[in-house]
Amino acid sequence: MHLLPSVWATTSSPRGLAPAASGEVYRARDEHLDRNVAIKVLPPKTFSDDSARKHFRKEALALSKLNHPNIATIHDFDTQQGISFLVMEYVPGVTLSQRIANHALPEKEFMRLGLQLVEGMAAAHEQGVIHRDLKPTNLRLTPDGR
């Protein structure tokens, strides 16, 4: 995918991670901050008018204020030449969908992950943020079980 040079100015080796319902997600390396990041690029047609762009900004600002271990941190957001994107914490691991593809979760793991999900969503709701697309393909499980 060819993106604006300024979008990738501080990143190297962008790799596609997964298509998302509202765009595509890429893994990149932020060379200035020496960390991996995920960059969610939203389809240009999503923001065809000023009210949609204002809504994106408002939502990105709300998301950037969330600070919880079970929620990926938003580092930055912008719109450049009609391409809107979020730069967020890269969460290593697999999706819940991948994890349960071949067998159900053991009860203890199900309860532990369920509690983490509830805690993260409660923290978001306290800030007035509602996920709107909560599903196994949007939930990442880290190698250490979070």
Q: Are 127 and 65 in contact (CB under 8 A)?
A: yes
Amino acid at 101: A
Q: What is the distance between the alpha carbons of residues 93 and 143, in angstroms, rounded to a whole number? A: 5
CA angle 70, 12, 28 (to 5 degrees): 20
> Does the residue 4 lie in any domain?
no
Q: Please report the pLDDT score of residue 80 as a whole number.
A: 82
What burial class does residue 135 get, using C-beta atoms within 10 Å of its C-beta: 0-12 exposed, 13-18 middle, 19+ buried? exposed
Q: Per the structure, how many domains does the chain have?
A: 1
> Does the residue 6 lie in any domain?
no
Q: What is the pLDDT along the chain (146 residues), one digit of tens a residue?
A: 445 444 554 555 455 555 555 678 889 888 888 899 999 888 777 666 777 778 778 888 988 999 999 999 999 988 887 788 889 999 999 999 999 999 999 999 999 999 999 999 999 999 999 888 889 998 999 998 88
Confirm whether 133 is a catalytic residue. yes
The tokens describing 87, both together, are 């730069």
CATH for 95: 1.10.510.10
What's the whole-model pTM score?
Answer: 0.78
Q: What is the distance between the alpha carbons of residues 99 and 77, in angstroms, rounded to a whole number? A: 30
Amino acid at 8: W
Domain hosting residue 134, numbered range:
11-141
Q: Please report the pLDDT score of residue 4 as a whole number.
A: 45
> Does the residue 132 lie in any domain?
yes
Q: Please report the pLDDT score of residue 132 as a whole number.
A: 82
Active-site residue (options: 30, 49, 76, 133): 133
Q: Please report the pLDDT score of residue 5 as a whole number.
A: 41
Q: What is the distance between the alpha carbons of residues 127 and 58, in angstroms, rounded to a whole number? A: 13
